[in-house]
């Protein structure tokens, strides 16, 4: 079993073990102390990576955006902290802590942080998601 408490363990950890546990608040705290958080408006860390399944922890500063895009597979966005405005087509959904959004493949969507926010992104696709990139 692998337990991950912060990104400093990145070099030594596997992203695909049979059983893994994560201390998400501790990882978020570490991510927000990284230089990337001070120089970019967001930070992301892939915590699980399997052939067609990934889980990414994303932290956004207030006002940060993930531009409009579509995904090849279904995705979930689980808000952990702050509020996220997610535009899907002509509709907008605001997610707060503990809320979950599920999107089918191919839906055009974008998001922006209404507060400093964090969310878990679950992907079932081989290509990377725009939230996985720093901006």
Per-residue pLDDT tens over the stretch 16-38: 888 899 999 999 999 999 988 88
CA 35 to chain centre: 18
> 20-22 and 2-4: which strand pairing?
parallel
Is residue 1 predicted with pLDDT exceeding 70? no
To the question of pTM greater than 0.85 for the whole model, the response is: no
Compute the distance between CA of residue 134 and CA of residue 59 in angstroms, rounded to an integer.
Answer: 10
State the sign of the Cα–Cα–Cα–Cα dihedral 72, 74, 78, 82.
positive
Q: Could you tell me the domains of the chain?
A: 2-132 (2.60.120.10)
CB hemisphere CA count around 32 (13 angstroms): 12
């Amino acid at each position: 079993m692998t337990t991950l408490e912060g990104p400093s363990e990145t070099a030594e950890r596997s992203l695909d073990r049979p059983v893994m546990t994560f201390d998400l608040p501790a990882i978020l705290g570490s991510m927000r102390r990284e230089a990337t958080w001070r120089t970019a408006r967001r930070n992301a860390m892939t915590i699980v990576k399997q052939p067609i399944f990934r889980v990414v922890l994303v932290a956004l500063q207030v006002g940060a955006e993930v531009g409009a895009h579509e995904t090849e597979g279904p995705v979930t966005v689980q808000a952990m902290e702050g509020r996220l405005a997610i535009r899907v087509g002509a509709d907008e959904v605001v997610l707060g802590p503990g809320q979950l959004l599920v999107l089918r493949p191919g839906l055009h969507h974008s998001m922006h942080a209404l507060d400093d926010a964090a969310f878990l992104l679950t992907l079932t696709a081989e290509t990377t998601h725009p939230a996985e990139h720093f901006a």
